[in-house]
Amino acid sequence: MNTMTYRGYTARVEFDERDDIFIGRVLGARDTISFHADTVAGLKLEFRRSVDDYLAYCEEKGLSPDKPVSGKLMLRVSPQIHAAALVAAQSAGKSLNQWASEALEAAVVSA
């Protein structure tokens, strides 16, 4: 996956062969933040402009902009997985939160 990051926002970029343009969309936000351009340099500029425009709009309207992420992650897993993770965390001398955070970080780095 091709991504770009600016001011904490990450966008996925795709190439539209039919229209011969790059298209980007910010990930992880409820609001739609999208942009496009026909060059890589233009795409980078439009990405930054779109994020800046979104943040300015939110400020102007007194709205709280979607943060890319809050840092809180709620998961539903089977009781067996929950128990096994708890045992693994305790065996490592860590809290379940710390253990899970490290496991997710390792998975993301290797992806």
- Indicate if 57 and 95 belong to the same structural domain: no
Residue with tokens 């899970």: 100
Most distant pair of Cα atoms in the chain: their distance: 55
Q: Which two tokens stand for residue 41?
A: 């340099």
Give residue 21's pLDDT: 96
Give the domain range for residue 106: 79-110
Q: Same domain for 54 and 20?
A: yes
Q: Is the entire prediction scored with pTM above 0.85? A: no
Task: Report, in angstroms and rounded to the nearest whole number, the Rg of the chain calculated over CA atoms.
Answer: 19
pLDDT tens digit string along 30-58? 889 999 999 999 999 999 999 999 999 99
Task: Please report the pLDDT score of residue 83 as a whole number.
Answer: 93
Q: Are residues 56 and 16 in the same domain?
A: yes
pLDDT of residue 29: 84
The ranges of the chain with pLDDT < 50 are none
Give the pLDDT score at 73: 85
Provide the residue type at 75 as one letter.
L
Q: How far apart are CA 13 and CA 17, in angstroms?
A: 13
- Structure-token match 């490290």, residue found: 102
* Spatial separation of the C-alpha atoms in residues 102 and 97, rounded to whole Å: 9
The reported pLDDT for the residue numbered 1 is: 64
Q: Is residue 69 part of a domain?
A: no
